[in-house]
Amino acid sequence: MRIAIIIGATRRESTSAKLSAYIADIMRKEGHEATLFDLREKPLPLYNDDDEEIHPNTAELMDTVLHADAVVLSTPEYHGSLTGVLKNALDYLGKDQFNDKAVLPVSSAGGAVGVSSLTQMQTIVRNMHGVNSPEWISIGGAQRQFQADGTPESQDVRNRVERTVLYFLKFAAKQRA
Ligand SMILES: Cc1cc2nc3c(=O)[nH]c(=O)nc-3n(C[C@H](O)[C@H](O)[C@H](O)COP(=O)(O)O)c2cc1C
């Protein structure tokens, strides 16, 4: 399967970006094609329905998600929600890109669990006619440590992320069928 991973973080040392790269590695080891779309590297203009021209980064995002079989949405938790950059990116997308596709929400939070950003992403996914994975991935507080090679420090986090990604791949394959 082709999986698009949209990273809604802006910090250079972003832990949600590191977690997304780790998720992509697991997917690739399972034989899937995982494409990271990092909104820090490829920023989008603020969505405006009046704009007639499509920015090249926006066109690339729309194309990446359109041709994906499944999608991962990854965000830091900001004020109990997803980041503005991720919400802005999702405003360019909709049913055309998400219809019936499995979507995995991922968050990194200062607190223990980023439940608010995860549930808010699920609300948006539902409105874009995507299909929410019953499992999600959240790291918080002291769990946000990564080794130099991008592997999470905590064995517990590594186990949890791997288990959830494998579950999501099966869920996405069923959804695709
Ligand atoms: C503007 C802002 C708002 C934040 N709001 C929350 C919050 O509501 N709950 C929380 O647990 N952490 C909050 N944090 C902390 C971030 O979620 C946390 O540092 C996260 O790991 C950052 O992700 P990143 O490493 O990908 O940038 C906030 C941070 C910023 C900058």
For 64-105, the pLDDT digits (tens) are 999 999 999 999 999 999 999 999 999 999 999 999 999 999
Domain 2-176 belongs in CATH node 3.40.50.720: no
What is the arithmetic mean of pLDDT over 118-141? 98
Residue 124's pLDDT band, with cuts at 50, 70 and 90, is very high
Helical segments of 67-105, H only: 84-91, 95-98
Q: How far is the CA of 19 from the centre of ligand 1 (A)?
A: 15
What span, in angstroms and rounded, lies between the C-alpha atoms of 131 and 10? 26
pLDDT at 100: 95
Band the pLDDT of 159: cuts 50, 70, 90. Answer: very high
99 contacts 70 by C-beta, under 8 angstroms: no
Contact 121, 75 (CB under 8 A): yes
Which stretches does DSSP call E strand in the chain?
2-7, 33-38, 70-76, 102-109, 131-132, 137-140
What's the pLDDT at 29? Answer: 98
Ligand 1 centroid–CA 9 distance in Å is 10
Mean pLDDT of the chain: 97
Domain range summary for the chain, segments of one domain joined by + = 2-176
Summarize pLDDT for 31-56 with one digit per residue, the tens: 999 999 999 999 999 999 999 999 99
Classify residue 10 by burial, with Cβ atoms within 10 Å: 0-12, 13-18, 19+: middle
Q: For ligand 1, say whether the CB of 80 is within 6 Å of any of its atoms.
A: yes
Name the pLDDT band for 167 (thresholds 50, 70, 90): very high
Ligand 1 neighbourhood includes 110 CB (under 6 angstroms): yes
From the alpha carbon of 18, which atom of ligand 1 is closest?
26
**Which atom of ligand 1 lies at the shortest distance from residue 108's CA?**
21
Ligand 1 pocket check for 28: Cβ under 6 Å: no
| Non-local CB neighbours of 85 within 8 Å, separated by 6+ positions | 8, 9, 10, 39, 43, 44
d(CA 132, CA 172): 10
Q: Look at residue 14 in the predicted model and tell me its pLDDT.
A: 98
Nearest CA to ligand 1 atom 2: 78
| Of 167, 135, 166, 174, nearest in space to 27 by CA | 166
For a mutational test of ligand 1's pocket, the pick from 16, 77, 87, 146, i.e. the residue with the most ligand atoms closer than 8 A to its C-beta, is 77
